[in-house]
Amino acid sequence: MCDTVNIRTAQNQDLEAIAEIGFRAFKANSHRREKLDILISDGDVLVAEMGKTTVGYCVLIFRKGRATATLDAIAVISSEMGKGAGAALLHAAAAEAVCRGYSTLRLIVRADNDRAIRLYRRAGFRRSLRRSPRPAGFHDGMPMIRMHKRIVGPLTALRLGTLALAKSLRL
């Protein structure tokens, strides 16, 4: 298989492949099918292809009036891990968020997910300060780590933040 990774916006016909990759990666449905279908229709899901095979995907959550977008899920099929698909998806996710006017990308990762944490750190994500005084964790008790990355420069971030505030105040 060719190792060149191509990233594109997911289409509705990608739903099955995405659901399968997500199920294998997370041992559960990361999103309900109906929800995934809507996210795909909204252009919020990116897929990674190697040759003609879909090898990974990521889901972005955009909230109007906010400056921060969320990377809600990212997964690559195990046989194709370590070939740059994860990094390419992250890079494209940040570019998509910038295009839509967001200045920061954030995510949550299990504290024991070393591989993902390494990937995020290499891509420029840094640990976020905890906003809640209570330690946050997953349902099995594993602590969660919040990370974020500024995806535009400080001046653009300030302009986007002002625009987002104006929109939320309907100015």
Residues that bind ligand COA (CB under 6 A): 25, 74-76, 81-87, 109, 113, 115-116, 118-119
> Which residue has 């535009």 as its token pair?
152
Cα–Cα dist 155/157, whole Å: 5
Rounded to a whole number of angstroms, the minimum distance from the CB of residue 71 to ligand COA is: 8
Rounded to a whole number of angstroms, the minimum distance from the CB of residue 141 to ligand COA is: 17
Q: Cα–Cα distances in Å, from 165 out to 78, 96, 106, 147, 159?
A: 41, 21, 19, 23, 10
Rounded to a whole number of angstroms, the minimum distance from the CB of residue 85 to ligand COA is: 4
Cα–Cα dist 139/144, whole Å: 10
* The total number of residues written for the chain in this structure: 171
Rounded to a whole number of angstroms, the minimum distance from the CB of residue 15 to ligand COA is: 18
Compare residues 61 and 87 and give the one whose CB is closer to ligand COA: 87
Compare residues 139 and 170 and give the one whose CB is closer to ligand COA: 139
Compare residues 38 and 111 and give the one whose CB is closer to ligand COA: 111
Compare residues 98 and 116 and give the one whose CB is closer to ligand COA: 116
Cβ-closest residue to ligand COA?
86
Cα–Cα dist 36/96, whole Å: 18
> Which residue has 């330690």 as its token pair?
135
